[in-house]
């Protein structure tokens, strides 16, 4: 299929974990084992760890990501962080619309769209999260929900900016629960996202779009998931906090070795 056009991306989402001292210890343990990976690696970490991770990965190809961003460029938004502020620290990726942000902090499809645009306008890559809740899957409306989230998230994003977009399909009921959809179910939704992007833009844009699966991905289930034709990588929560588990997932993505015809990432 078109997987040769897309390098695998393995992104860790640390969530609200790791003090600076803990982050340093984790990186010291983890980085040596993933230095020669044949896939793109991103650590999305709490704001307070961004500089530490940037410093400790500077001479590697590992990229730094944030877990959220405000959509305004500046102003009276106490406690918020702008895209420009992140960029200045060396951040290259931002997770937007994670289900925990949607659920606990009122993120909506509209604000996810604004955050994605702010991220792209600052020259970073947005990792846009979409995914259905368990009740939506049970009602049989997964495809409708995910297609709607995808369409609204991408509203106003030009075709030439799509190279700065990654979409992560994360079924909400699979996050942190140890439950996963079947690989067929996971791939079906990733394919639906790709088809939605083909309708919005064109087939070439859809073929080069990186789509991640997220939700209880671990060393045991990652090979099966990453071998699916429309799953190009993983957004990893729990397993990204364990050096051995994260490096095992990176090793599998490297071994599968797709993305041979993809454009080289910066720094290579």
Q: Which of 97, 171, 181, 215 binds ligand PGA (CB under 6 A)?
A: 215
| 248 vs 239: CA distance, rounded Å | 10
For ligand PGA, which residue of 31, 53, 235, 249 counts as binding (CB under 6 A)? 235
Residue 244 φ/ψ, nearest 5 degrees: -65, -40
- Using CB under 6 A as the binding rule, whether residue 176 contacts ligand PGA is answered as yes
Nearer to ligand PGA, 162 or 175 (CB): 175
C-alpha distances in Å from residue 3, one per residue of 76, 162, 230: 44, 17, 8
The C-alpha angle with vertex 222 and arms to 186 and 53, in degrees rounded to 5, equals 110
Catalytic residue, chosen from 67, 100, 132, 170, is 170
Least Å distance, CB 134 to ligand PGA, is 14
Strand partners, 63: 42
Nearer to ligand PGA, 5 or 11 (CB): 11
Residues 12-41 that bind ligand PGA (CB under 6 A): 13
Q: Cβ of residue 231: shortest distance to ligand PGA, in angstroms?
A: 14
Q: Which among 106-114, 170-178, 182-190, 242-250 is the span making contact with ligand PGA, rule CB under 6 A?
A: 170-178
Catalytic residue among 98, 100, 132, 245: 98
Site string (118-157) toward ligand PGA, x via CB under 6 A? ----------------------------------------
Q: Are 67 and 13 in contact (CB under 8 A)?
A: yes
Which of 125, 142, 149, 216 binds ligand PGA (CB under 6 A)? It is: 216
Q: How many CA atoms lie within 13 A of 15 on its CB side?
A: 13
Q: Does 259 bind ligand PGA (CB under 6 A)?
A: no
Number of alpha carbons in the 13 Å side-chain half-sphere of residue 159: 10
20-28, 107-115, 144-152, 208-216 -> range binding ligand PGA (CB under 6 A): 208-216
Dist CA 60 CA 30 (whole Å): 13
The residue range among 83-91, 104-112, 139-147, 229-237 that interacts with ligand PGA, by the rule CB under 6 A, is 229-237
Q: Nearest-CA neighbor of 231 among 167, 175, 151?
A: 167
Total interface residues for ligand PGA by CB under 6 A: 12
Run of H or E residues at 210: strand 210-214
Residues 6+ apart with CB under 8 A from 142: 132, 136, 171, 189
Cα separation, 99 vs 84, whole angstroms: 24
The answer to whether residue 210 forms part of the interface with ligand PGA (CB under 6 A) is no
Two tokens, residue 86:
């992140």
Among positions 37, 120, 236, 243, the unique one binding ligand PGA when judged by CB under 6 A: 236
Active site residues: 98, 170
Q: Which residues bind ligand PGA (CB under 6 A)?
A: 13, 170, 175-176, 214-217, 235-238
């Amino acid at each position: 299929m078109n997987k040769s056009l897309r390098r695998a991306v393995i992104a860790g989402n640390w969530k609200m974990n790791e003090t600076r001292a803990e982050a340093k210890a984790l990186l010291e343990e983890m980085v040596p084992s993933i230095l020669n990976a044949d896939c793109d690696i991103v650590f999305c970490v709490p704001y307070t760890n961004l500089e530490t991770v940037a410093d400790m990965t500077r001479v590697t190809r590992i990229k730094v990501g944030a877990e959220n961003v405000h959509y305004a460029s500046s102003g009276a938004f106490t406690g918020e962080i702008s895209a420009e502020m992140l960029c200045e620290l060396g951040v290259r990726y931002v997770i937007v619309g994670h289900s925990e942000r949607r659920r606990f902090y009122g993120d909506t499809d509209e604000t996810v769209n604004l955050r994605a645009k702010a991220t792209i306008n600052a020259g970073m890559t947005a990792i846009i999260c979409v995914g259905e809740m368990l009740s939506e899957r049970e009602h049989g409306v997964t495809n409708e929900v995910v297609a709607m989230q995808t369409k609204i998230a991408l509203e106003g994003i030009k075709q030439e900016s799509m190279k700065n977009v990654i979409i992560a399909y994360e079924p909400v009921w699979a996050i942190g629960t140890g439950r996963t959809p079947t690989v067929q179910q996971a791939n079906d939704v990733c394919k639906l996202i790709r088809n939605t992007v083909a309708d919005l833009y064109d087939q070439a844009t859809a073929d080069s779009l990186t789509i991640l699966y997220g939700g209880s991905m671990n060393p045991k289930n990652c090979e099966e998931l990453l071998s699916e034709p429309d799953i190009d990588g993983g957004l990893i929560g729990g397993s990204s906090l364990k050096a051995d588990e994260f490096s095992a997932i990176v090793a599998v993505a490297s071994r599968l070795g797709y993305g041979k015809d993809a454009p080289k990432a910066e720094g290579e």
